[in-house]
Amino acid sequence: MIASDVKATLSFSDGSPSMELPLYKGTIGPDVIDIRKLYAQTGKFTYDPGFLSTASCNSTITYIDGDKGELRYRGYPIDQLATQCDFLETCYLLLKGELPNPQQKKDFDRLVSTHTMVNEQMQFFLRGFRRDAHPMAVMTGLVGALSAFYHDSTDITNPVHRDISAIRLIAKMPTLVAMAYKYGIGQPYIYPQNKLSYSANFMRMMFGTPCEDYEPNDVLVRAMDRIFILHADHEQNASTSTVRLCGSSGTNPFAAIAAGVACLWGPAHGGANEAALNMLEEIQRNGGVEKIGEFIKNVKDKNSNVKLMGFGHRVYKNYDPRAKLMRETCHEVLQATGLHDDPLFKLAMALEKIALEDDYFVSRKLYPNVDFYSGIVQRAIGIPVSLFTAVFALARTVGWIAQLNEMIGDPEYKIGRPRQLFVGAPHRDVLPITQR
């Protein structure tokens, strides 16, 4: 980051000493005001619950321009990556900062494919869950449990350990997600097959059975791979910030990623794709397109607590570029699966059209986000609604790892420890219980 020649001056109307704050410029995007010395010099904290105006770090990984609706991984626009690369190339890029050449791609693909199996003991964790456990409950447990098996890659300060655990996590997440799915439907686990591509391997572990050969459908595999690319990283979102804060204590990479899985589960974040599809199904059940007006009316009524799931974003105040690509993928998959008349897709497009013409959404700059269409694509591929967020976690694992490694590799990093504005009882003495 580059020191700006512009300074910020903080002054107080009560005559307290003013303070000069340095500004830093990034390569693109907003400048930052360095407040690291603020408390030491003024005895005051900044106040920014939800971190609407706070940069927690400097990063070279992902850039988002919310006003223009732009997303770039290591400088490459998401639409170019999603149409010209595969997910493992994107993983290589996020982890190492450059796209691989043919030999590097071959070696990386081989390295990942030879780490896809999990320890046989992992299946006994699954047996402890009810069959109807939510897959994200299972994934939170399984990912954390990985730290019990790989003691040769749990030292987050050791770059070799970080590299090994990164490959293990990227390689094993598809196996674990497929195991969580199979456990829920009472089918046997399908072992990974290294001759298949990353996404074809995942599809086979999900939908194959020991009873017959599984022939991956190339259009669906490509769509799955694109879904992974679109979800791979997204700057300092809630789950990534969770992983950074968790990892800043020096805990092992598996535990830090498990914290990210837990955070992603929430409906305001990665759980929105499941919530968005459930919302579309409910509107469909209650009358479909004809009932959209009534639903929108409900959303606009503050007391209803109803949100248009898959719409709105903390950063994007324009169309989420991933939503555009996801909608295109929807068309491809629905054509390939003969579901081109899928009523939910038609309902989603009608809902989007109406919302984007309604002042409530326009005035609040609420546009479809990545979760609005991803559920329809995944449903058409055959993925159950309850597994959508686990698929999101599978894809986001590489982003979490890249961000965690960037933090740990920064010589300036410290354990994250925010402060507060205390508004509780200042001081009182305990009374004996007979006097309370």
Q: Which amino acids are annotated catalytic?
A: 313, 371
**Least distance (Å) from ligand SDX to the CB of residue 420?**
20
Tokens 């086979």 found at: 204
Listed ranges 93-101, 246-254, 301-309, 423-431: which one lies at the site for ligand SDX (CB under 6 A):
301-309
Sheet with 19-25: list strands edge to edge: 2-10, 19-25, 32-33
**Least distance (Å) from ligand SDX to the CB of residue 388?**
12
Q: Which is nearer to ligand SDX, 109 or 371 (CB)?
A: 371
Q: For 191-222, give one letter per residue: b (16+ CB within 10 A) or e.
A: bbeeebbbbbbbbbbbbbeeeeebebbeebbb
Q: Which is nearer to ligand SDX, 99 or 306 (CB)?
A: 306
Which of 237, 389, 397, 405: binder of ligand SDX (CB under 6 A)?
A: 237
Euclidean distance between CA atoms 196 and 175, whole angstroms: 13
Task: State which residue has the least CB distance to ligand SDX.
Answer: 312
Give, for 70, the enclosing helix (H) or strand (E): strand 70-73
Tokens 């570029």 found at: 321
**Least distance (Å) from ligand SDX to the CB of residue 256?**
16
368 touches ligand SDX (CB under 6 A) = no
Q: Which is nearer to ligand SDX, 118 or 279 (CB)?
A: 279
Q: Which is nearer to ligand SDX, 192 or 375 (CB)?
A: 375
**Least distance (Å) from ligand SDX to the CB of residue 12?**
30
What binding mask, one character per residue, do residues 146-185 give for ligand SDX by CB under 6 A, x or -? Answer: ----------------------------------------
Euclidean distance between CA atoms 181 and 207, whole angstroms: 10
What binding mask, one character per residue, do residues 346-365 give for ligand SDX by CB under 6 A, x or -? Answer: ------------------x-
Query: What residues from 304 to 323 belong to the interface with ligand SDX (CB under 6 A)?
Result: 307-315
Which amino acid, one-letter code, is at 4? S
**Least distance (Å) from ligand SDX to the CB of residue 64?**
7
Decide if 180 contacts 387 (C-beta within 8 A). yes
Euclidean distance between CA atoms 373 and 379, whole angstroms: 10
**Least distance (Å) from ligand SDX to the CB of residue 303?**
12
Q: Which is nearer to ligand SDX, 203 or 299 (CB)?
A: 299
**Least distance (Å) from ligand SDX to the CB of residue 61?**
13
366 touches ligand SDX (CB under 6 A) = yes
Euclidean distance between CA atoms 266 and 281, whole angstroms: 20
Decide if 32 contacts 55 (C-beta within 8 A). yes
Q: At a CB cut-off of 8 Å and minimum separation 6, what does 278 contact?
A: 309, 385
Q: Which is nearer to ligand SDX, 302 or 436 (CB)?
A: 302
Decide if 162 contacts 170 (C-beta within 8 A). no
Instruction: Give the distance from CA 432 to its chain's centroid.
Output: 50
Structure tokens at 34: 């360095």
244 touches ligand SDX (CB under 6 A) = no
Instruction: Give the distance from CA 36 to its chain's centroid.
Output: 28
**Least distance (Å) from ligand SDX to the CB of residue 423?**
22
Q: Which is nearer to ligand SDX, 158 or 318 (CB)?
A: 318
Phi-psi region of 305 (alpha: psi -120 to 50; beta: other; left: phi over 0): left
Which of 204, 234, 327, 379: binder of ligand SDX (CB under 6 A)?
A: 234
Query: What residues from 255 to 274 belong to the interface with ligand SDX (CB under 6 A)?
Result: 268-270, 272
Q: How many residues bind ligand SDX (CB under 6 A)?
A: 21
Structure tokens at 118: 């999990």
**Beta bridge mates, 76:** 73
383 touches ligand SDX (CB under 6 A) = no
Which amino acid, one-letter code, is at 248? S
The radius of gyration computed from the CA coordinates of the chain, to the nearest angstrom, equals 24
Q: At a CB cut-off of 8 Å and minimum separation 6, what does 116 contact?
A: 171, 172, 174, 175, 192, 194, 201
What binding mask, one character per residue, do residues 110-139 give for ligand SDX by CB under 6 A, x or -? Answer: ------------------------------
Residues found near ligand SDX in the complex (CB under 6 A): 234, 237, 268-270, 272, 299, 307-315, 364, 366, 369-371
